[in-house]
Amino acid sequence: DTEVTQTPKHLVMGMTNKKSLKCEQHMGHRAMYWYKQKAKKPPELMFVYSYEKLSINESVPSRFSPECPNSSLLNLHLHALQPEDSALYLCASSQEPQRGAEKLFFGSGTQLSVL
Partner 1 sequence: DAKTTQPTSMDCAEGRAANLPCNHSTISGNEYVYWYRQIHSQGPQYIIHGLKNNETNEMASLIITEDRKSSTLILPHATLRDTAVYYCIVRALFGTGTRLTVIP
Question: Closest Cα to residue 103, out of 44, 30, 9, 5?
Answer: 30
Question: Closest Cα to residue 24, out of 47, 1, 6?
Answer: 6
Q: Is the Cβ of residue 18 or residue 41 nearer to partner 1 in the bound state?
A: 41
* Upper half-sphere CA count for residue 115 (Cβ side, 13 Å): 4
Q: Is the Cβ of residue 60 or residue 88 nearer to partner 1 in the bound state?
A: 88
For 90, other C-beta atoms within 10 Å of its C-beta total 23
User: In angstroms, what is the minimal distance from the CB of 79 to partner 1?
Assistant: 25
User: In angstroms, what is the minimal distance from the CB of 103 to partner 1?
Assistant: 6
Which residue ranges make up the site for partner 1 (CB under 8 A)?
A: 4, 33, 35, 37, 42-45, 48, 88, 90, 92, 94, 99-109, 111
User: In angstroms, what is the minimal distance from the CB of 61 to partner 1?
Assistant: 19
Residue 82 DSSP symbol: -
Q: Is the Cβ of residue 16 or residue 39 nearer to partner 1 in the bound state?
A: 39
Direct distance between the N- and C-terminal alpha carbons of the chain, in angstroms, rounded to an integer: 36
User: In angstroms, what is the minimal distance from the CB of 57 to partner 1?
Assistant: 13
